[in-house]
Amino acid sequence: MQKNKGFSLIELLIVVAIILIIAAIAIPNLLRSKISANESSAVASVRTLVTAQMSYVTAYPSVGFSSALSNLGTGGSATVCGIPSSTAACLIDPLLATGTKSGYTFYTANSSAATAGVNTDFYIYANPVTQGTTGVRTFCAVTDGVVRYNMSSETSCAGTETPLQ
């Protein structure tokens, strides 16, 4: 009598079921780790933007703080920095200057009217591109430099948000 070599259909179905169970456990953890990585990158980018704003106001005191991300980067016209100016200070990388990086959108503006033509403050926001998929928290910072987070995509950074530890 000849013995059949190989797997039976039941054995193959059991192996497929085990693989599906493992995948069902692993995929949510993978998504959570991707969100965590995006949020870490967003916090680092907000800190970079705060530092760039402080450098910008020091370099261009007659302008004050920058009112646009493109002014902190290459000015939006090139991917390589030339001679720094108030419209292209070359303080941040070109990708961050476009306003989108690692699943987050970034923007900066001045929260009050300029005093004698000088921007005396700023705020920075980092919002997830897709809430709950690319990130869960919104990050912000103002002139004090403290990075804060909010669990929604609100656009306020009045100090009521939770500071990062």
Q: What is the pLDDT of residues 72-101, one digit of tens each?
A: 988 776 667 878 888 889 999 988 999 999
**Burial annotation 11-47 (CB, 10 A radius, 16+ → b, else e):** eeeeeeeeeeeeeeeeeeeeeeeebeebbebbbebbb
Q: Is a pLDDT exceeding 60 seen at residue 138?
A: yes
Q: 23 falls in which pLDDT band (50, 70, 90)?
A: confident
Q: What value does the mean pLDDT take over residues 30-54?
A: 94
Q: Tell if the pTM clears 0.85, that is, is over it.
A: no
Average pLDDT value for the chain:
86
Q: 155 falls in which pLDDT band (50, 70, 90)?
A: low
